[in-house]
Amino acid sequence: ARVMVARDPRPSGPMLETGVAAGVVGCGADAVLAGVLPTSGLATALRAGMADVGVMITASHNPAEDNGFKVLAVGGRKLTDEEATAFEKWLQDDAPFHRTPGLMQEEAEGAWHCYQTALDSVTPDPEVFRGRRIAVDLANGAAAPLRDWLVRRFPADFLFLGEGVGR
């Protein structure tokens, strides 16, 4: 199994990313590190086949000192209630240790490329937004790299929110 691990830019993110990745490789799976990426970017990378499942380290729109985990299933979809229950039970059980650990691989650039390609493929004619005022939530900084792309691509007046802790 390949588990993609992504995070938002909260101060605790790198520590939690290391812990999740260590747990993944200790169970014999491969950890694919996507770095700072919005949750939708992780889902897009999973749909593109970059990994089997994913763990997003984020507390969404909660204060920067909070943090948490979202687990994404095959194809980047949300876990069903049954899958979430089974996963929670698995977490409470003793994790299996494998004599042969999995591998750890950096894929931040590939994950962002995948996300950017998906965004490019669904964006309408930029002229649709000429003269419009658009509010964009930058997901507490995880989507901050999209700011420049939006400004270059669309002739609109943007109001950026949620720049948070930055990248």
Tokens of 63: 């204060």
60 is an active site residue: yes
Q: Alpha-carbon distance 115 to 1, whole Å?
A: 22
Question: Do residues 124 and 155 touch, judged by C-beta distance below 8 A?
Answer: no
Q: Which entry of 12, 40, 60, 121 is annotated as an active-site residue? A: 60
Question: Do residues 45 and 76 touch, judged by C-beta distance below 8 A?
Answer: yes
Residue with tokens 């950017």: 116
Tokens of 76: 């980047």
Containing 71, the helix (H) or strand (E) segment is strand 69-72
Query: What Cα–Cα distance (Å) separates residue 47 from each residue in 37, 83, 101, 114?
Result: 15, 18, 25, 10
Nearest to 36 by CA among 12, 65, 52: 12
Catalytic annotation, residues = 60
